[in-house]
Structure 1
Amino acid sequence: MANILVLLASGAEGHAEPAVLGLDSYQWVALAMLVLVAVFVWKKVPGLITGGLDAKIAEIRKALDEAKSLRAEAEALRAEYAAKISGAEKDAEAMLAGAREEADAILAKAEADSKVMVARRQRMAEDKITAAERAAVAEVKARAVTAAAAASRKLIAERHDKKADKKLADEVISSL
């Protein structure tokens, strides 16, 4: 305070700086900073700050490592499923090829079976026609025999009399 009074009494025209205990304001600020730094060092604040920052860095590194491992797992799964899809496509192509081969085999068998069936039915039809021809020929022969027998009877009845019968009977007896 004495400095304040001295400055006021001298009537200096300049700006008066407050001074306490003989220290100017910039000295008080420097002293306060020194005390603050001493408290920080004494309370180990920088260690706490760096420790907190180190812990945060460790958490971030852990999260990054976890993210890297998750990404690696995701890439492995992606590769696995890509391989499965590729395998499934190959299996589908193989199934399709097998189905086509099977369909071709079934078609070929059906064609062969139909040819055999057509040939068998043709044989059956030919056999029926042959049987019908035989039956018709047999019927014509039977009618011819019947007609011939009837004609023979009629002719014999018309041309044969008792004399011819006797002569015929004598020939049969003599031939025995």
Structure 2
Amino acid sequence: MKKDYSVRLFTYTALFAVLAVLGSFIHFPIGPVKVFPFQHAINVVAGIMIGPWFGMLAAFLAALVRLMLGTGTLFAFPGGVPGAFVVGILYHHFIRRDWVGFFEPVGTVLIGATLSAYLVAPWMEMSVTLSFFQISFLMSCFPGSVIGFLLIKILRKLTWLNIEILNGGE
């Protein structure tokens, strides 16, 4: 039973990473950042369905593949990974409600923008302010969290899919 659970967990993780990569062709650039709402929608769904750690892994893998394909930048790592973590932690440990997906911007804007402004941008020898990252990430993660919330609601209504919420390896 444990092996079957692990296979499903890693399958969901790979599926979310692939969906994020496939959706990465729908983006718009704002300065050095490519705004990508679908990543944040996937973060909401992954955080709820597979938990914080595997949600982060899916976001990291998507960022890595997008970087290799040229559809993403280094900012995809701090811009995507914290949102999945925040949603996963809140859903699996504190608030088991779908609206917890609206906290995805907390991870993206507060944590991701800060990491982008103070770690990634200086490393890339760019002088971009924290407020620039906060605004551009918010333009991406707010609509993404709404889409993710709606996706979770739709998935729950599709009983024939037999969608299950996994425990994220905890």
When normalised by structure 2's length, the TM-score is: 0.20
Larger-Rg structure: 1
When normalised by structure 1's length, the TM-score is: 0.19
- Tell me which protein shows more helix as a share of its residues: 1
